[in-house]
A and B are shown apart, each in its own frame.
Chain A
């Protein structure tokens, strides 16, 4: 059975671009347009990996969603790949190893999203 990836992002075109790439790589893709709907879908759909955008309705909505996922015992082990343009916005470079304490995510991928990198990152981090 194909692994399920949930994309939480409010940019429809970007979601579609990632959906096409991931479906071509053999994944099932579902999506949610904001953090609240995303949390609902994590519980109802139990995805194997979450791709989470940082900036949605607020500049740091993605961070809050990541914390909520890690605080909920039922879903806390779901891998999170954070989709960010923050690195480019502020010159702030995230390192999942170093910044794991304050940013509980497994990997980062920067916008614009390179399809090959996306597939690699998802492949490396998805629950086996």
Chain B
């Protein structure tokens, strides 16, 4: 805003220079009554005084704050329009070509102020100009015959003068429009550069995740393999405490491997070469995943069913990513639903979306926690209480994979009454 203020002040100096040059030129070519030209010069000096005041204020702006600067900018614009109206009056009102200059004041207002300010200024211009014409018509003020009763076009000085004002209006309008475009371009370039930088940072982060998880996973996998061999050889020969210790160590290495795997999954799709979109039947995919999950739900005597119309649901997606989405949701439902509970997976077509719902009648998620469940490393206190292991990355991965497909995921849950996770996957009609 301060930069715009200083720019407006600088433009006003050019306008003042133009005004004094005009007055001198008019005196030189003897066009216009001397009293009008003198009054125009006085208006010029008033403008010099005002602009010096604006400049002083702009230099001290920090002490006054943003809102007072906005008020000052409005005051400047109103004063400018008022003085322009006075100049139009001094140069013949309706005859005066200076009325063209209203145009770029409106453009200026649209550049400087946000929202619909330019419409307000258009209204102000209409009021000032109409008011001027009206008070002249009602003889409240005397009309100034700037052009000596000549028919305008008979005097080449008048024609040239009007032509000149027209040219200035066009040039200034073009300058202002160009200025706006230029600023817009600069902002866009800056945003593009910032975006590129962010992408680079993201890729560096992804590369780091990828290599770090691989570098860490390989030795941990070897440690676990070694522990399993030791456990296998010791069998029942060793002290029970040693066997328990070994089992715990194997469990902890499994957990660590799981977390590293999840971290790698979180960055899945960041590299374009990783994404493998292909046309598939979403229904077959879900049936396969539900079948895979069945032994786990059976172990808890849960009912796991799949519902959908018996038709193909052709969809262009990444099989690995879709597998992760629904495997995660189904295994969560199994994990956090009590024994003998019910889990239902359904698929339907709604407009241009495939809607997959994974519902359970388990513990549910309190409303206050629902906003957090898709955050990385977040686990609800209930989830932690029910199952101690877990990285809290599962739903963050699900969300990432859904986004990869341009889709959306929502949760609808009531504490003690179960949860429904709804995944919407948009598709193109011609598939």
- Which residue numbers of A lie inside 8 Å of B, CB to CB? 11, 13-14, 16-18, 20-21, 24, 55, 85, 88-92, 111-116
Chain B residue numbers with a CB within 8 Å of A16 are 226
Q: Which A residues lie within 8 Å of B224 (CB)?
A: 112
In the complex, which residues of chain B have a beta carbon less than 8 angstroms from the beta carbon of A18? 225, 229
Given contacts A88-B257, A88-B261, contact A13 B217 (CB under 8 A): no
Which of A11, A17, A88, A92 interacts with B229 by CB under 8 Å? A17
Chain B proximity of A21: nearest CB distance (Å): 5
User: Which residues on the A side are within 8 Å of B274 (C-beta)?
Assistant: 90
- Residue in B221, B224, B265 with the greatest tally of chain A CB atoms within 10 Å: B221
24 contacts between A and B (CB under 8 A): A13-B222, A13-B225, A14-B225, A17-B222, A17-B226, A18-B225, A20-B229, A20-B233, A21-B229, A55-B214, A85-B214, A88-B217, A88-B261, A88-B264, A90-B268, A91-B324, A111-B218, A111-B221, A111-B222, A111-B225, A112-B221, A112-B222, A112-B224, A112-B228
Which residue from A24, A55, A89, A112 sits with its C-beta under 8 Å from B253? A112
**A14 with B222: CB separation less than 8 A:** yes
Whether B226 lies near A13 (C-beta < 8 A) is: yes
Interface residue SS majority, chain B: helix
Q: Are A91 and B268 in contact (CB under 8 A)?
A: yes
Of the candidates B214, B232, B261, the one whose C-beta lies within 8 Å of that of A115 is B232
| A17 with B233: CB separation less than 8 A | no
CB distance from B288 to the nearest CB of A (A): 12
- The minimal Cβ–Cβ distance linking B407 to chain A, given in whole angstroms, is 18
Chain B positions 195-227 with a Cβ under 8 Å from a chain A Cβ? 213-214, 217-218, 220-226
CB contact under 8 A between A17 and B225, given known A85-B217, A88-B257: yes
- Report chain A residues within 8 Å CB of B253: 112
Task: Check B323 for interface membership: any CB of A closer than 8 A.
Answer: yes
Chain A residue nearest in CB terms to B213: A89
B residues with CB within 8 A of A: 213-214, 217-218, 220-226, 228-229, 232-233, 253-254, 257, 261, 264-265, 268, 274, 320-321, 323-324
State the CA gap A122–B324 with chains docked (Å): 30
Given contacts A85-B217, A88-B264, A115-B228, 7 further A-B contacts (CB under 8 A): A13-B225, A17-B229, A18-B225, A88-B257, A91-B265, A91-B323, A112-B225
Could you tell me if A89 and B320 are in contact, using CB atoms closer than 8 angstroms?
no
Chain A residues, CB < 8 A from B232? 21, 115-116
Complex-state Cα separation, A113 to B218, whole angstroms: 12
Measured between beta carbons, the chain A residues less than 8 angstroms from B261 are 88-89
- The residues of B that contact A113 with a CB separation of less than 8 Å are 225, 228
**A87 nearest in chain B by CB position:** B261
Which residue of chain B has the shortest Cβ distance to A119 in the bound complex? B232
Cross-chain contact A90 with B320 (CB below 8 angstroms) = yes
B221 touches A89 (CB 8 A): no
Residue of A11, A17, A20, A115 with most chain B CB atoms under a 10 A cut-off: A17
Give the docked Cα–Cα distance between A116 and B268 (Å): 32
In the bound complex, how far is the Cα of B319 from the Cα of A22, in angstroms? 36
Which of chain B's residues has its CB closest to A21's CB?
B229
Whole-angstrom CA separation of A89 from B274 in the bound complex: 12
A108 to B427, CA, bound (A): 35
User: What residues of B have a CB within 8 angstroms of the CB of A114 in the complex?
Assistant: 228
A85-B233 Cα distance, complex, nearest whole Å:
24
* Inter-chain contacts of A91 with B (CB < 8 A): 265, 268, 320-321, 323-324
CB distance from A115 to the nearest CB of B (A): 4
CB within 8 Å for A92 and B228 given contacts A24-B233, A85-B218, A112-B257? no
Q: Note all chain A residues with C-beta closer than 8 A to B233.
A: 20, 24
The interface residues of chain B lying within 8 Å CB-to-CB of A88 are 217, 257, 261, 264
Partner of B221, one of A20, A24, A85, A116: A85
**B221 proximity list for chain A (CB < 8 A):** 14, 85, 111-112
Contact B320 A92 (CB under 8 A): yes
B69 to nearest A CB, angstroms? Answer: 55
Q: Which residues of A contact B223 (CB under 8 A)?
A: 13
Q: B264, A89: Cβ atoms under 8 Å?
A: yes
CA distance A95 to B306 in the complex (A): 25
Considering the complex, give the chain A residue whose CB is closest to the CB of B250: A112
A111 contact set on B, CB distance < 8 A: 218, 221-222, 225
Chain A residues in 8 Å Cβ range of B265: 91
Give Cα distance in the complex from A92 to B261, angstroms. 12
Q: Which residues of A contact B229 (CB under 8 A)?
A: 17-18, 20-21, 115
Chain B residues with CB under 8 A of A116: 232
Kindly list chain B residues whose C-beta atoms are within 8 Å of the C-beta of A90: 264, 268, 274, 320
